[in-house]
Amino acid sequence: MKNKIWVCPLIVMGLVIILTNSCNKDDNNPVSITDKDGNVYTSVTIGTQVWLVENLKTTKYRNGDLIGTTTPSTLDITAETTPKYQWAYDGNESNAATYGRLYTWYAVTDIRNLCPTGWHVPSDVEWTTLENYLIANGYNYDGTTTENKIAKSLATATNWTSSSNTGVVGNTDFPGKRNATGFSALPGGSRDGNGTFNGFLSFYGIWWSSTESDYDQYMALLRYIHADNSYLDAGGYLKVSGASVRCVMD
């Protein structure tokens, strides 16, 4: 006579719940990412891309080498040919915890790599992929799928200069679109090669791409968000300048 095996229904239910939760794990934050300074980042999936949620904060390349800075933080470096530096905004280290650091393009594209292993600085094409996906999928503040009105969906709901203009980052209108992507863009400002820090840590954020300008050898391409605008804009910036970095997964 064969023995019958009895399994407690509560045990079966528990296993089902565990397996279900495992399969439904939030893909937007699959793991914590750590740089060489020990700073920990989270990630967000947007379309086919995975982005770091925070601006990069590291003072070291992936191999552990230090990324230099200047003394004072306002030192003019315009006479240097390929300066590789990083700064906390205004030379105040407490700003780096929230807003990350500003890097020259030469540091950004150094072969030792700024981003943690498995991540890289996005190219201009990769920024365009993000932009096109958001427009096509209704992330414009007004829900349309033409033109570029996606800044509100990329920016944090706080820390930006206020504005009364419709649909812009600094306005609290269209609350359902505010940081709808989870990208959490912050206004980290910038640094000119002559040592001037700009943006007041509330007015705009700019992020390097790894792509050089095709019309000026001294410039590289970037993206920026302005508190008083509704779009993610593209432009060029002198390579000796300091801008924020967002890494994208390889």
Tell me how crowded residue 186 is: count the other CB atoms within 10 A of its CB.
Answer: 21
| Cβ(149)–Cβ(189) below 8 Å | no
Question: What was the pLDDT predicted at 200?
Answer: 86
Which distant-in-sequence residues (6+ apart) come within 8 Å of 71 by Cβ? Answer: none
3-state secondary structure at position 29: coil
Measured CA to CA in angstroms, residue 163 lies from 140, 167, 170, 172 at distances of 18, 10, 5, 8
> What ranges do the domains of the chain cover?
33-249
Tell me which residue of 77, 110, 127 sits closest to 240, measured CA to CA.
77
Q: Which amino acid is at 122?
A: P
3-state secondary structure at position 142: coil
Question: What was the pLDDT predicted at 117?
Answer: 96
> Mean pLDDT by 10-residue block, N- to C-terminus, for the chain (250 residues)?
41 38 41 91 97 98 97 98 98 96 98 97 98 98 97 97 97 98 97 95 96 96 97 97 98
| Cβ(84)–Cβ(110) below 8 Å | yes
Question: What was the pLDDT predicted at 31?
Answer: 63
The pTM of this model reads 0.87
Q: Is 24 exposed, middle or buried (0-12, 13-18, 19+ CB in 10 A)?
A: exposed
